[in-house]
Structure 1
Amino acid sequence: MNRKFAKWSQYIYISMIFIFLYLPILVIVIYSFNQAKTGSLWTGVTFEWYERLFNDTDVIFAFKNSLTIAIVSSFISTVIGTIGAVGLYKYSFKGKSIIELLLNITIVIPEIILGIALLSYFSQFQINFGIGTLILSHVTFSIPFVLIVVRARFSGFDSYIEDAAMDLGATRLKVFFTIILPNIVPAVFTGAMIAFILSFDDVIINFFVSGPESTTLPIKVFSMLRFGLSPEINALCTVMLIITFVILITGECIKLVSQKRL
């Protein structure tokens, strides 16, 4: 009896957590199809808000900016973060532990502080705010996430495999591309996904370092909220959720395929 009660208690507890996490998201998705202009009253199903959304040139422009910034910044941060992780794994040097500590600190620094710091930096050097400053800023806060994820992958890596390959005549470059890289591919994709989503959804840093012609999708949502919550905002949030889920599912599929090949 006690075991059965404990089992059901676990199910109820887990269900409550999922309800708490996903019920607000579900409400947004449902009310994005609501005919009423106010979110408090349900009057019927419509796709009008999605039609308006896809015909809104400002939203499309902001979406293109967000997508461009996210793709470029996630690619750069993935390359730099992966190289950094390999360097921290393979080489021992003075100050290595301090560098790793500073990387961890970078992750927990509030975004508003980082945003103000970047604003001050770009202003000091008189750099025009726009797509370029956004990409540089997103690379700055994304690199530590990629580096830590890839670095964690090396914790279970057998370094004797590298030594054996080099004893058989393989060069360091060949060892990297044939042994190290295939083993860290899942972590690299995970880091890239994290970097992309962090960039695509960022609001605070975008607010500080964006220019008049570089409005991103999250900033567009924020500006639309000043006039109240509308079904069009719900539709836009639903589209952003779908994009995020598609990226996550695609990344997981790539990880599974790469793991099967190992």
Structure 2
Amino acid sequence: MPGGLIRKAISVRGVVQGVGFRPFVYRLAHEYGLTGWVLNHSGGVEIEVEGSAAALAAFVRDLEGKAPPLARVEGIEITDVPPVGSTTFEIRHSVAEEGRYQLISPDIATCPDCLRELLDPADRRYRYPFTNCTNCGPRFTIIADIPYDRPLTTMRDFVMCPQCQAEYDDPLDRRFHAQPNACPACGPHVWLVPSPQLETLKPEADDVIAQAARLLQAGAIVAIKGLGGFHLACDATDEAAVRTLRERKKRPAKPLAVMMATLEEVKQHCW
């Protein structure tokens, strides 16, 4: 083998797509000075790495021990393959394999980093409701097929702007290979459609989320289209609004889901 180098082929199974696993592998390989490649396929993640025995041992150790927080590694298979003298490490294009099955992460609540951007008036994603990164955002509800890549999700129709593409391509950015990456300039938008009873509403005249909040406060029922369907929402503290919702849904007694902002607020109402 050239220069004492060895090469390993590694197959990883579990929730390893849509959770930043390929970027993690890329950075881990660079940390240990390894060469090779990583790719998604319809059954998981495939890796080939080449380097010294000590570096490969550390890489394999950290592959599961330091995996991204949203990843769930269920199995790792390692085999020896001949060294090829590769000089770089790359993320290769995904490979579709008929008959294979891959676990996909559920949608993940907005992470603290994205929340800071969302609430920062100076940030280009200020108040953009579809803000996400490799640590949060939609996964299961946007996927159309495996392996998990943007062309196989509902984000395929939204071409990234130069700034979002630069984030997507930067190994040091937390949006490196974040498939739903988007911003107000290139991503999906939210709008408000008034019912016939609200003909005086001017959806373009104001922030539509603020308008929806005012409608909820006024006792209206708002149909909110999410990534996976519609949610019918009303003010849970407004008895008349809840009664109207139950009548329209023909659901006189079955419990309804209640959303609250914090655990402290839950305790105020439920303890």
- Shorter-chain TM-score above 0.5: no
Q: Scaled by the length of structure 2, what TM-score is found? A: 0.23
Report the structure, 1 or 2, having the larger strand content. 2
Q: Scaled by the length of structure 1, what TM-score is found? A: 0.23
Report the structure, 1 or 2, having the larger helix content. 1
RCO higher in structure (CA 8 A, sep ≥6) = 1
